[in-house]
Structure 1
Amino acid sequence: MTRDIKKVVLAYSGGLDTSVILKWLQETYRCEVVTFTADLGQGEELEPARKKAEMLGIKEIFIEDLREEFTRDFVFPMFRANALYEGQYLLGTSIARPLIAKRQIEIAKLTGADAVAHGATGKGNDQVRFEIGYYALNPEIKVIAPWREWDLTSRTRLIEYAEKHQIPVAKDKRGEAPFSVDANLLHSSSEGKVLEDPWVEPEEMVYQRTISPEAAPDKASYIEIGFEKGDAISIDGERLSPATLLTKLNALGKANGIGRLDLVENRFVGMKSRGVYETPGGTILLAAHRGIESITLDRGAAHLKDEIMPRYAELIYNGFWFSPEREMLQALIDKSQEHVEGIVRLKLYKGHATVVGRKSPKSLYSLKHVTFEDDAGAYDQRDAQGFIKLNALRLRLLKYGRG
């Protein structure tokens, strides 16, 4: 444990854990604490965090609305890649961490802090994501991870510490929470406690961002999403900012029971974990983006994107957003999106977002080439014979060429 800390920037939510961390930092390191609270669309009031920080003697308090930056500079670039970790997870928690880390480092520079701190535990992925981000942006920064240092290893001990130091504990926080929740504009993530047995189906109370597909309307909803250079820009012809657009997609997804995922995943630290994710707007956005790419991307470009996507998604999941290899892949992905523009029509119905129409001024879809009617000479079917024979040549040689 490094004790020569003068000032630390703490990623602060105002909840029990980070409030205890705040006081613990003051006591253990005898240092000045700066709090940073980010509004990433988690849906919670942030002013109580300011009041609690003030009550704990904090002079420098940063509370920032980062929803637009989060969506524009982190979520949308990721969705250009159609990124899915292990084929299913839309990376809602993973993509939020680099932005928080970035702002902590910027605030540390602004306030003259020599350290940063976070509230991630020593078992999860977030400690890795935060700290790799810190070191990538400031190799000299000192990092404090209280959960790896202190002996407050249970909720009872946390509450006892809070009471001892006169830190307010809400009545609903005194009992054991049935599961833990992380949320932002892209998704909500629930895990732990009642969700730890992967055989047991989650109860309906776990879901916060979506109604159940069974309870969704019996009538389908239709929407049209417009794209420019791979990014969604409009819904039903109305041009919207990135965060506003994602917020509206979230509402549409929620109302139609779209975006639920019950997943057992492989954490970067080595263990498997079970999480319940809700990504209503993101699920719609992924379907729409793949829909517009289907008519605007060349086959080779589309297939190459699909080949590199798992690597790109794994880099984000593991915390390497600021790595040169992620940036290299991003450059390739962004190049592929130059002509990804147009409109996609989707049918939203009982948990499903289905593409039912797509059009683009940059479309590569040629009706005269694919029609079963008279193609007026656009395609000579006799050319296929030589094409097939050339592609079959190596297989024929394998069969007959060894004799």
Structure 2
Amino acid sequence: MVDEKGQVAAVFREEHGRLLAALARRFGDLDLAEEAASEAVEAALAHWPTDGVPPNPGAWLMTTARRKAVDRLRRDRTYTARLAELRVEAERAEPYSAAADGGLPDDRLQLFFTCAHPALAEEDRGALTLRCLAGLTTPEVARAYLVPVETMAKRITRAKRKIRDARIPFRVPEAHELPQRLPGVLQVLYSIFTEGYAASSGPHLQRLDLAEEAIRLTTILARLLPGEREVVGLRALMLLVHARRAARTDPDGLPVLLDQQDRGAWDRAMIEEGLPLVRAALSGPPGPYAVQAAIAALHDEAADITTTDWPQIVALYDVLQALTPSPIVAMNRAAAIAMRDGPAEGLALLEGLANDPRLRHHHPYLAARADLLARLGRTPEAIAAYESALTHAATDPDRALLRARLNALKD
């Protein structure tokens, strides 16, 4: 028997961002858009098991969601004037199109720029976009920003309220507004890719659908803004990292770390596509995405972990830390220094980050510290560190890898 609920879930994952973005652009209200989208999915769960999945499920969901939104507007007197302004009855017959305005070729990119409006607090812009348009859960967004879930939920609510109260328009920015909003959009795309590269929860290490969607949207953006080197740099970074996807897990889905990956399984075509983009992105003063892409290129070009140019990677992390200082950059720099100068040097740097509250429960930091302790033969401390990392790991594959390393130390 066909699993209709599974099909609805698969279609909704595929269409969620596009559906919500089109509804928000049409009705100018994110809460209304979310409610209408949810009601459309409920309708699909009720009808598809008996009627069958329609030939164009995305269009079916969009038509149903629009009708649900109109019905909700009619029932709510506070929306009466808004309904008249939108003339939604006249627009209900409009085909489901990703480029109805003739502007940006995807509703999601339009909304990425809209949610990067300068009237919103900087910390709220990306959070709202990730939650509403990229389909990430509030805990996933909280992980991307290294803040508690409660804090992130308040940020998202605050951003929605600001859009509603300030009547921020859901529209494509003018050409002169794009550069100002571009950093926020790039951060959102980067965060979506990061969640795809290393899922924050669930049964799988990677969420390839999210990573590939981030690459697709960044490719569109690169066509729109060919002179923006950081767009080129971000696209290069994504390609060079995503090229390793097939080698990052074993047949059981467990993580395979960089030093143990079969580099023959890396996507050479994707690497060859990304390398020239790195050179283009570094043709002027470097930005953070270009620097990260250069680091990824050095990894992809090396024959193995021992021939990797670790001095150059450390130098690039020095540049990145100056451009965008963060505990994650400092953590990765420490790991690179451990490869260049030995585990003791890397561990000393990691220990210096121990009081940063953003890393206290960050399992990659805890696992990196445990690994260096184990390499130094400090087994009891390594066991304690691995146990702490295991407590905070959120995906099944990460927990399985940490458990295996912990058991190996205990044997």
TM-score surpassing 0.5? Answer: no
The structure with the largest alpha-carbon Rg is: 1
Structure with higher helix content: 2
Task: Choose between structure 1 and 2 for higher RCO, CA contacts under 8 A separated by at least 6 residues.
Answer: 1
Structure 1 or 2: more strand by fraction = 1
